[in-house]
Chain A
Amino acid sequence: MELAAAKALGAGIACIGMGTAGIGLGHIFGNYLAGAIRNPAAADGQFGRLIFGFAVTEALGIFSLLVALILLFT
């Protein structure tokens, strides 16, 4: 298999990582919403932690996007 084809395949496979990051994000926000519906008064206090958890989880998805981009463009 030629190198360019293998790289393109690898980039496609790396996108699976972004899908799993999406699952993680849905988990975080789903739990936050479930808690917020039960206890709306306490929801705003935890918003900072929500955003922090979102950012670190999203980072892993972005890392896999970075791998895909490196494969495609170098």
Chain B
Amino acid sequence: MAYDPIHQFRIEPIVPIHVGGLDFSFTNSALFMVLTVAVGAGFLILATASRAVVPGRWQSSAEIVYEFVEKTLRDSAGSEGMRFFPFVFSLFMFVLVANLWGMFPYFFTVTSQIIVTAALALSVILLVIVYGFWKNGLHFFKLFVPSGVPKVILPFIVVIEVLSFVSRPISLSIRLFANMLAGHITLKVFAGFVVLLGSAGFLGVVGAVLPLLGTIALTALEFLVAALQAYVFAILTSLYINDAIHPGH
């Protein structure tokens, strides 16, 4: 068993599929994305299947998730932004369930791959740009010209605003990716300490309790971070959508 903490991020093909020199293998990453969609969609569909007016426990929990994301989107983007609710809700559920799947031992964390989070962030930014131009035309560039700025420093402000807009997809993807990566590496390093100490005689086994407690505390923290990162991804998406609908601060 490899003690190094990087081994867990290796992508391994489960069903090798090669088409014309390109690799379309069904990998462990793909498997967990399928599981994420299955659990996320399955939970929501099954929980609301009965459509009771007075919800039972399962339906109530699904409604809590729905209203949580609805509140987030409505507060940030207003009623006009609600047309993007399916998109934001799907993003939230995907990131949340993918993060939670990665918490189980030996399971692969889909969102710890930069390509996955970059794809999600890119879809958000493309939506913002395309919808922003489609709805506002060239008025969309008002986003980079905040009101109430003295004309003297306006050119510099515009440059800074453009840079800050360009950095949005980068920070959106790296925030989620690095949080998941760092969390899981730290977890594996602490777990490695437990094994290392435990193999050092009786005193070592006694001392190994300390990194074990650390691993337990870190796992609790990782559950919090998993949910938190999903919420942050959703709220930032809502804020960027608000910028697309109402450009200009």
Contacts and interface: CB of A to CB of B under 8 A. Distances in A.
Given A51-B228, A52-B232, A55-B228, A65 B182 contact: yes
A66 B181 contact: yes
Which secondary structure dominates where chain A touches chain B?
helix
Which secondary structure dominates where chain B touches chain A?
helix
A6 interface: no
B99 to A, nearest CB: 13
Nearest to B239: A52
Nearest to B229: A55
A55 B232 contact: yes
A65 B179 CA distance: 9
Interface size class of A (residues with CB under 8 A): 10 to 19
Interface residues of B, number: 17
Contacts, number: 40
Contacts of B124: none
Contact of B175 (A62, A69, A73): A62
Interface string B1-45: 000001000000000000000000000000000000000000000
Interface string B133-163: 0000000000000000000000000000000
B182 A56 contact: no
A66 B232 contact: no
Interface of A: 48, 51-52, 55-56, 58-59, 62-63, 65-66, 69, 73
